[in-house]
Amino acid sequence: MKYVIQVNEGPYNHEASTSALNFVRAALDAGHEVFRVFFYHDGVNNSTRYTTPPQDDLHIVNTWSDLASKNDLDLVVCVAAAQRRGIVDEGEQERNGKDGNNIAPGFRISGLGQLVEGCIQADRLVVFGD
Amino acid sequence: MKYVIQVNEGPYNHEASTSALNFVRAALDAGHEVFRVFFYHDGVNNSTRYTTPPQDDLHIVNTWSDLASKNDLDLVVCVAAAQRRGIVDEGEQERNGKDGNNIAPGFRISGLGQLVEGCIQADRLVVFGD
Amino acid sequence: MSDIKNFLYLNRRAPYGTVYAWESLEVVLIGAAFEQDVSLAFVDDGVYQIMKGQDTSELGIKNFSPTYSALGDYDVQKIYVEKESLDARGLTVDDLLDLKYEDEDDDWAEKDSIKVVSADELAKIIDDSDVVLSF
Amino acid sequence: MSDIKNFLYLNRRAPYGTVYAWESLEVVLIGAAFEQDVSLAFVDDGVYQIMKGQDTSELGIKNFSPTYSALGDYDVQKIYVEKESLDARGLTVDDLLDLKYEDEDDDWAEKDSIKVVSADELAKIIDDSDVVLSF
Amino acid sequence: MPILHTVNKSPYERNSLDSAISHALKGSSVIMFEDGVYGAMKGTAHADKVSGAMKDVSFYVLGPDLKARGIDESKLIDGVKVVDYSGFVQLTVDNDKVSAWT
Amino acid sequence: MPILHTVNKSPYERNSLDSAISHALKGSSVIMFEDGVYGAMKGTAHADKVSGAMKDVSFYVLGPDLKARGIDESKLIDGVKVVDYSGFVQLTVDNDKVSAWT
């Protein structure tokens, strides 16, 4: 089965991103394909490498990055949502004249079309949000 | 009347930060003192200079920065909440080994004690949140 | 499975209080380029999204409600509004934007996009879709 | 106004689904250093915060419920739980953590921190406070 | 000591308005703003709760949030008073404290 | 075409569970997770809605979210089945699509 996963909330404030992580892990464990994880709304805040959560809590951003690198996951951050909320990669940094960027390894910023295309390609869309 | 304002949600995803901006402006217009604005929970996301909202929409972060500079406002971002969500100033950058920072002008990162002390000093606490 | 999927955008939130209404609409606009079969449903507080007369000038934020009137140009012709949700909120279809599309199979006649449906009918619309995007 | 204010922390959200419960507790812990008169109220879904037996190991996130048991050491002695909220959720005080404090005016006798109150009593507790922090 | 209760959520989606009313003593005030303004509309499933509480509690609604949502003042429950942001600020002055029901 | 409806909010705070049940056809399934798991507890103000819908709709609850919140399985409404994350994934396989009620 081929999945596209949508994550609508940022880390810590809502359980959504933890739920999505656990779901993605379980889907991979069961031998399914996760075609794409699409971060939308405040979900784009999962992708900043600037977080430093307490050591006794889950490091959500790093967990996404590790999961992506081990499973070749496509973690896509919506560009329009990212611009409203301050998530920047090198391309966005240049385009919008920012003095730095904060995207974490394994994430890429792209358009909403990636969500729609994901829904067309995949067998299932599963949404984690508020 | 002396106010402390608490902002619990990030820009755009919830109306809370716009409401807080409008309330603070009205309070200042009426001659009241805004002793402190405290950003907590996802509210810390009001303080990143990396946002580039659409040109036909309100630039919430810049509006806070302008309001602070014109009215000498104390915009305090909770350090614990900021660490979980990736808001970094120069001090936090050094302390947590980050390769950059994203805090916008006019904001400062400090402890939760600033909220409690604000409540002790001020006549009124007004909370804007989800 | 056919090449064209039935996309249902399920809108359940009021506008402005949260961004979901507006960012849902952004997906609909972008999604139009993919030429899928698109329906929009407004249920629960989602019915408030298409109330007419919205004016955000005193809040200083963007009024995105005119965009709903452009949906016909994006080939979005099926807009379902749940009757039970309208009734509970004291609203009728007269309180809503007058959304139209031009029917290319009927000499481009202008037709109403909005169809008021019951909860049971909406359940079947959900059932008939291939992908449900919830906002 | 006296130098010491009555701080009321009004907790209305379930734990884990959102961060408000935990970040409210962080304010209480830091606030203790300011030696104000502190009360906590658990109402609506907030009563779920202090259910006993919480175990987050399978989710992989931090279980912060043991911190409630430490509140007595932070001089938090007044913890109000609304009866109507418990009743609607099929809960009794036996489902809740056994929160205690040591009463320095009574030879450090261990006493219950939790007091179950009605909505009317809680309304008066809100009324008697100087600052209401809502989470 | 009168209190201003703030409600910023729709009464259809959340329990905020119900909770605020259940905990509002005689003489206190409730302001509905953001998505809370839907609680001020008449002819709805929730209107009776507001009308019923009105003999003890004063109800206000924020005009700029009403306009944003296309709600004409003629649709408001009788007795709910419309204020702008300066009126909202004045309510926080006239009451001794503010309690937020989100 | 069976559907899996996901509910992640408490039935006391939001209308998500009500809405999901109102739109669940015979043969569909509902999974309660995150704060949605409170909807699976018996002896509560909302339990009758779940029991009443059970002849047409199958109800599931996510075990890890139950444990996190200290809810013992003995407190669940009769007929609600506990699944772990791999069971959640399997439900999305067994149904043709997923509809999220947040």
Of A12, A50, A61, the CB nearest to B102: A50
List Cβ neighbours of C107 (8 Å cut-off, separation of 6 or more): none
Of F13, F43, F44, the CB nearest to D44: F13
Of B13, B53, B100, the CB nearest to A100: B100
pLDDT tens for residues D89-132?
A: 999 999 999 999 999 999 999 999 999 999 999 999 999 999 99
E57 near E22, Cβ under 8 Å? no
A76 near A114, Cβ under 8 Å? yes
pLDDT at A80 over 80: yes
Q: Do E3 and D119 touch (CB under 8 A)?
A: no
Give the nearest chain B residue to A57 (CA atoms). B84
Q: Do D26 and B129 touch (CB under 8 A)?
A: no
Q: Do C61 and B13 touch (CB under 8 A)?
A: no
Nearest to A60 by CA among A75, A48, A77: A48
Average pLDDT of the segment spanning A80-94? 98
Choice among B7, B73, B76, B78 that is catalytic: B78
Average pLDDT of the segment spanning C1-17? 91
Tell me the chain E residues in contact with residue C84 when contact means C-beta distances shorter than 8 Å: none
As beta bridge partners, residue C9 has C40, C133
C-alpha B86/C-alpha B48 separation (Å) is 9
- Give Cα separations from E22 to A50, D41, D43, D124 (angstroms): 43, 15, 11, 12
Tell me the chain D residues in contact with residue A14 when contact means C-beta distances shorter than 8 Å: 17-19
Choice among A67, A78, A88, A104 that is catalytic: A78
F45 close contact with E: CB closer than 8 A: no
Of B41, B84, B125, the CB nearest to D131: B125
Average pLDDT of the segment spanning D19-37? 95
- Tokens representing residue F91 in the block: 């439900």
pLDDT of residue E3: 97
Would you place residue C2 in the very low, low, confident or very high pLDDT band (cuts 50, 70, 90)?
A: low
C-alpha A130/C-alpha C12 separation (Å) is 12
pLDDT of residue D2: 55
A2 close contact with F: CB closer than 8 A: no
As beta bridge partners, residue A126 has A5
C-alpha B122/C-alpha B2 separation (Å) is 5
Which chains does chain C touch, 3 or more C-beta pairs < 8 A? Answer: A, B, E, F
Chain C interface mutation, best of A120, A126, A130, highest count of C Cβ atoms under 10 Å: A120
Query: Minimal Cα–Cα distance from E29 to chain F, Å?
Result: 22
Q: Do E15 and F15 touch (CB under 8 A)?
A: no
Q: Which helix (DSSP H) or strand (DSSP E) does residue D84 occupy?
A: helix D83-88
Hey, which residues 8-37 in chain F have their CB within 8 Å of chain D?
8-10, 12-13, 34-35
Average pLDDT of the segment spanning B4-9? 98
pLDDT of residue C40: 98
Q: Do B14 and C59 touch (CB under 8 A)?
A: no
HEC readout, chain C: CCCCCEEEEEECCCCCCECHHHHHHHHHHHHHHHCCEEEEEECHHHHHHHECCCCCCCCCCCCCCHHHHCHHHHCCCEEEEEHHHHHHCCCCHHHECCCEEEEHHHCCEEEECEEEECHHHHHHHHHHCCEEEEC
On whether ipTM exceeds 0.90, the answer is yes
Which chains does chain B touch, 3 or more C-beta pairs < 8 A? Answer: A, C, D, E
For residue E77, the one-letter residue type is I
pLDDT tens for residues C26-64?
A: 999 999 999 999 999 999 999 999 999 999 999 999 999
pLDDT at D1 over 90: no
Average pLDDT of the segment spanning E20-24? 97
Task: Please give the model's pTM, rounded to 2 decimal places.
Answer: 0.97
Average pLDDT of the segment spanning D22-42? 96
pLDDT tens for residues F19-73?
A: 999 999 999 999 999 999 999 999 998 999 999 999 999 999 999 999 999 999 9
User: Catalytic site residue B119?
Assistant: no
Q: How many helices (H) and strands (E) does chain F have?
A: 4, 5
* Distance between start and end Cα atoms, chain D: 25
